[in-house]
Amino acid sequence: MMQKKTTAGLMLAALLASTGMVSAQSLADIEAAAKAEGMLTTIALPHSWCNYGAVIDGFKAKYPWITVNELNPDAGSGDEVEAIKANKGNTGPQAPDVVDVGLAFGPQMVAEGLVQPYKVSTWDEIPDNIKDADGYWYGDYYGVMSFLVNKDLVQNVPQDWADLQKPEYAGQVALAGDPRTANQAILGVLAAGMSTGAAAGDAAGKAGLDFFASLNKAGNFVPVIGKAGTAAQGATPIIVAWDYNALSWRDTMAGNPPAEVVVPKTGVLAGVYVQAISAFAPHPNAAKLWMEYLYSDEGQNLWLSGYCHPARFNAMSAAGKLNSDAMAKLPPAAAYEAAYFPTLDEQAANKAAVTGGWDAVVGANVQ
């Protein structure tokens, strides 16, 4: 059970939640409480995803008295939501304090009472269209859907979604997650559907299912969750993944084998992920410090170094705060010009279509 707070403490907490402002003293209070907690439990944060390895190391360096307990790095957004539900009332090491999930999962968690509000000190620089007005969730970074291609095994690098249907790609195409639970894979299906001309949402979700059903029937689809290791080993020579993951995996492979990252010509889909603190977080103050670090200049630039466009990108660009070396490593701006940002309603409709129809329409058990 949480310790009882003084009336003054409760008033301060209410003020922070309503304004998002954190004074030096109030942040010191949070730090003191977090130090007493001594731990932060994260979930679904692969170190190669968006430079999270460096982000976690940076947080540890800033707060050496907080132990970071990392759960299931390869979990999907749906798994994160279920982990909160499963650990309601559990203060042990399996209860996540914070989650990083796809945009469509934000409102879902609010509706189910799974998250608590907190507005970081840089709240005003997070665009209004990617955050909950009351602070229950807030956008952290975005990227576009792309193809990671093992050039040792793929002679002709596919340039668009339709190319993936060609016989030459038999046994080569994979998703970077289970489309029944993982946001990255769910939106990969949406992008494929949009490439056929279908409107974002339910229509594109169903068109995407048909696309992958055809891919599976032709023998081109591989029901293996794609990542750097499977690409390098040849199990998944072509992986549909966010550009920041694909670019990071390419760097990890370091030319052995040579790899190329392609932003398709059509169905260029941009996806925003969001942060939130569990309503049942065993370490709520450590969770707040984590959020403050992520949305600080340092945290945002660490994400940028992992090929992710951080939430405060525009404000930091205007203020000259973005890391120039990191900016130089990003794909050219032209690759993002046609990117489409689906609305929450479109994402929700697509998610329902994909998660509800994958088994019946595609019938591939992705593991």
pLDDT digits (tens, 9 = 90+) for 111-168: 999 999 999 999 999 999 899 999 999 999 999 999 999 999 999 999 999 999 999 9
- Residue 296's identity, in one-letter code, is S
Is residue 41 in a domain?
A: yes
Is residue 224 in a domain?
A: yes
Same domain membership, residue 292 and residue 193:
no
Contact 207, 349 (CB under 8 A): no
Other CB atoms within a 10 A radius of the CB of residue 118 amount to 24
Question: Taking CA 366 as the corner, what is the angle to CA 113 and CA 82, rounded to the nearest 5 degrees?
Answer: 15
Is residue 15 in a domain?
A: yes
Residue 53 has pLDDT above 90, yes or no: yes
- Can you tell me the distance from the alpha carbon of 298 to that of 295, in angstroms, rounded to the nearest whole number? 8
Domain count, the chain: 2
- Please, what sign has the CA dihedral across residues 212, 217, 222, 224? positive
Write out the two tokens for 82.
Answer: 């279920």
Contact 348, 200 (CB under 8 A): no
Same domain membership, residue 302 and residue 262:
no
Beta carbons within 8 Å of 239's beta carbon, 6+ residues apart: 147, 148, 174, 175, 176, 226, 227, 230, 231, 246, 249
Same domain membership, residue 203 and residue 239:
yes
Kindly report which listed range (13-22, 213-222, 260-269) carries the lowest average pLDDT score. Answer: 13-22
CATH of the domain at 118: 3.40.190.10
Same domain membership, residue 263 and residue 172:
yes
Contact 308, 142 (CB under 8 A): yes
Same domain membership, residue 152 and residue 59:
no
Q: Is 42 exposed, middle or buried (0-12, 13-18, 19+ CB in 10 A)?
A: buried
Question: What would the mean pLDDT of 232-257 be, rounded to a whole number?
Answer: 95
- Can you tell me the distance from the alpha carbon of 302 to that of 295, in angstroms, rounded to the nearest whole number? 10
Question: 248: helix, coil or strand?
Answer: helix
Same domain membership, residue 288 and residue 203:
no
Same domain membership, residue 150 and residue 21:
no
Backbone angles phi, psi at 325, to 5 degrees: -65, -40
Task: Find the domain containing 305 and state its range.
Answer: 7-138+276-328
- Can you tell me the distance from the alpha carbon of 235 to that of 215, in angstroms, rounded to the nearest whole number? 16
Is residue 168 in a domain?
A: yes
- Please, what sign has the CA dihedral across residues 249, 252, 254, 257? negative
Average pLDDT over all residues of the chain: 91
Is residue 34 in a domain?
A: yes
Kindly report which listed range (8-17, 189-198, 225-234) carries the lowest average pLDDT score. Answer: 8-17
- Band of residue 177 on the pLDDT scale cut at 50, 70, 90: very high
Is residue 367 in a domain?
A: no
Same domain membership, residue 265 and residue 239:
yes
Same domain membership, residue 193 and residue 85:
no
Is residue 2 in a domain?
A: no
- Can you tell me the distance from the alpha carbon of 280 to that of 286, in angstroms, rounded to the nearest whole number? 13
Same domain membership, residue 177 and residue 153:
yes
Kindly report which listed range (73-77, 110-114, 194-198, 205-209) carries the lowest average pLDDT score. Answer: 73-77
Dihedral through CA 290, CA 296, CA 299, CA 300, nearest 10? 130
Is residue 1 in a domain?
A: no
- Which residues in 271-304 are b (16+ Cβ under 10 Å) and which e? bbbbbbbbbbbbbbbbbbbbbbbbbbeebbbbbb
Residues of the chain with pLDDT > 90, as a percent, come to 85
Same domain membership, residue 265 and residue 164:
yes
- Band of residue 331 on the pLDDT scale cut at 50, 70, 90: confident
Answer with the residue of higher pLDDT: 17 or 338: 338
Same domain membership, residue 313 and residue 217:
no
